[in-house]
Structure 1
Amino acid sequence: MNNTINVIIAGGKTGGHLFPGIAIAQALESLSQNVKILFVGTNAPFETQTLEKYRYAHKSIFAKPIKGGNIIRKVFSFSIILVSLIQSMIIMKTFKPDFVLGVGGFSSFAVVLAAWFLRIPTAIQEQNAFPGMTNRLLSRFAKIIFTSFKETKGLASNPKATYVGNPVRKTDMTEVEDNPALSNFDPDKFTLLVTGGSQGASSINEAFMDALELMDHTDKFNIIHQTGINDEGIILEKYKHLKINATVKSFFHNMPQLQDMADFVITRAGAGTISELCIKGLPAILVPFPHAADDHQTFNAKALEKQGAAVMIKDDDLTGQILKQTFDGLIGNKERLAGMTKRLKHLAMPDADKKIAAYILNSKNIRG
């Protein structure tokens, strides 16, 4: 009997979808030596380069977001789904998966649907408090739905939904070596991490730099700033102009480790970020991305704010002055910060990756 289990993890493109998939892959490998993993998604550089860094096999399919609108758009969307469905079935026949897990993103739709057609066990993992369109559609076909929030909109009462939390990837030693901040920072200083997610956020970058101009004694902080590829040069120049020594990069692959170094975060409200903050008990100002599908980041941020575990500032309201006032009010109140840390850790579910991995490994004999 062949004890090897072949697993496809479908979806990605952005860190919010890709990193939970990587976390589950890591958990699968930690629980079994007889697992073979293939990621199927897009050919987006971020996705392909990240998976190469983590040494996971990857195949891309032709996939685009599902669009409504007029008949021409609907026909175009249907034709793309048909092409990606055929590509997915070819991959299935070649790789012969025992299980297919969708982690969201439009590229996961055809892969999970193809698995359903071929009667291969499936599951989807929803990271957000408001599910994306792809997972809303796939919830009809998947055998089980792993949710990250207890009150996931539209899924809380679904009998197939299982609340496990959002998987968080592990940092490896190659990432530690890539980190220039480790040898440059004073561990006795308050460390502030600023990030707009894997793609950066100009509004956060601009507001934070404006806030720094209004602050006194910025030398009492260590600052780690992930800018996104488009703003890196501009932000570096601004730090130089302000004569502030900060560690600035377009993207850090070792974000979990940087979060371990940080005392406070200013960030977007993607589900992966929310989960990492909870596990680490890291207080934050959350600025939801206003153009996220179905405004799901606002739902994520409100879920934490409602518990007193974070503070939310809407992107439209974000200015240097408001950011400075909010930040000063929080770091000046150690009791409130300690309370936020306590509430975040209470919300944490650090074993989500292992729970999903265990389900997959126990499912090899499931069919249909």
Structure 2
Amino acid sequence: MKILFTGGGTGGHILPLIAVAREVRRVQGTNNIRFAYLGPKDNFSRILLSQEGIEVQTILAGKLRRYLNATSILRNIVDILFMFPVGLLQSFGKVFTFSPDLIVSKGGYGALAPAIAGWIMQVPVFLHESDASPGLANKIAGKFATRIFTSFENTENFPKKKMTVIGNPIRKEVLSGSKQEAKRIFKLQGGKPVILISGGSQGAQKINDTLLNILNKTLKEFEIIHQTGEKNFKQVKAEAKVVIEKDREIYYHAVPFLKERELRHTYAAAEIIVNRAGSGSIFEIAALGKPSIIIPITNSAQNHQIKNAYAYEKTGACIVLEEANLTPNFFLEKLRYFISHKKDTDKMKAAALAFSKPEAANVLARLIIEYLKG
């Protein structure tokens, strides 16, 4: 049984594939299963996938940029006329060599060439779409995919007869953390509500800047674990040191990136979660039953984060705060709201759990195995 994964190369594409691979192994066992991944070169993906025993192979990948200026137009021409055709030729060679029984595509610009190559070579393609509004690559791949699985009920632009709603595959391991272990890892002080503030796997400058503006004031009432993003970590730490009063420094815990072991315990300790509107983050937060503030990226492709955020808010599980309204004091008032309105917070927790689909990875794994066994 050989399964070829493909995806765009960000955490939002890679982590669900890891969750599915783990569940396939749990259900089927490890004998006679071989996984490989084919996508654009990316160290983050390579490290995570290799740790799971998934072979990583890379191709050139062309990306269509929707924002138009002289630089983006030139890069689009290069990507469309050179990068994508070369990546497609590479995909034919690598799909032929690996000879998979099934391709599982998570979407993203790096997944289109492998999916097309597989389709032409008559390899069945299972497509998973994380977002409420699919990107261009998945819209194209959806036309020839064998099966399409979605996270949200009313996902746009796919033929309904191929579509099954299963939720977004998440790693079960992040749902079983320990508050005590979080206390040990971060030296949490206790006595104040713990907030996890994150801008996703790459961090978010806007969220970081907003927090820094009110950090000292916020630490008077809350203890904060802050995932800054690798590239912002040193700057955020330096600025935080300037604005925080000495006696409040012990309540602020900045990290560049939360690895799985740390994330699971952080989730357990956090009473409130502030995050971007990536589908993976939303479905993890929902499965934990945590109240949250969701801050969508304004300029995401197809406005998918804004659509994700409002689809989730519609259930009553979160507050959406768009970047245009993300002023420091307004942000602080929203954090205070969770503490002062316990009944509303309890309703959010219940709504989050009702929305969640923690077994999505297992469901998809079983459907994959069932299909391959015929």
Offset of 1:227 from its aligned partner?
0.3
Equivalent residues in 2 for 1:4-19, closer than 5 Å: 5-19=1-15
Give the one of 247, 251, 254 matched to 2:253: 247
Offset of 1:154 from its aligned partner?
2.4
Residues in 2 aligned to 1:183 and 1:268: alpha-carbon distance in whole angstroms: 23
SS at match of 1:58: strand
Q: Is the 8 A contact 1:148 1:166 kept in 2?
A: yes
The equivalent residue for 2:135 is 132
Q: Is the 8 A contact 1:7 1:37 kept in 2?
A: yes
The equivalent residue for 1:344 is 352
Q: Which amino acid aligns with 1:19?
A: L
The equivalent residue for 2:338 is 330
Give the one of 27, 36, 39 matched to 1:38: 36
Residues in 1 aligned to 2:228 and 2:186: alpha-carbon distance in whole angstroms: 21
Instruction: Name stretches of at least 5 consecutive residues in structure 1 with no aligned partner.
Output: none
Q: Is the 8 A contact 1:181 1:247 kept in 2?
A: no
After alignment, is 100-109 or 327-336 more displaced?
327-336
Offset of 1:365 from its aligned partner?
5.4
| TM-score, length of structure 1 as denominator length | 0.90
The equivalent residue for 2:100 is 97
The equivalent residue for 2:122 is 119
Equivalent residues in 2 for 1:302-341, closer than 5 Å: 302-341=310-349
1:125-182 deviation line (CA, Å, top 9, x unaligned): 0000111111011000101110000111223x6210100000002438xx99x98963
Offset of 1:273 from its aligned partner?
0.4
More helix by share: 2
The equivalent residue for 1:227 is 228
Equivalent residues in 2 for 1:1-368, closer than 5 Å: 5-33=1-29, 34-66=32-64, 73=76, 76-155=79-158, 158-171=160-173, 182=185, 184-186=187-189, 189-215=192-218, 217-218=220-221, 221-241=222-242, 242=244, 243=246, 244-245=249-250, 246-254=252-260, 255-364=263-372
Q: Is the 8 A contact 2:199 2:227 kept in 1?
A: yes
Residues in 2 aligned to 1:139 and 1:154: alpha-carbon distance in whole angstroms: 9
Q: Is the 8 A contact 1:67 1:74 kept in 2?
A: no
1:259-315 deviation line (CA, Å, top 9, x unaligned): 222111111110000100111111111110112111100001101212211001111
After alignment, is 144-153 or 203-212 more displaced?
203-212
Instruction: Name stretches of at least 5 consecutive residues in structure 2 with no aligned partner.
Output: none
Aligned residue pair count: 356
Offset of 1:79 from its aligned partner?
3.4
| Percent of matched pairs sharing the same residue | 29
Change (3 A) 1:350 1:171: closer
| TM-score, length of structure 2 as denominator length | 0.89
Q: Is the 8 A contact 2:294 2:319 kept in 1?
A: yes
CA RMSD of aligned residues (A): 2.4
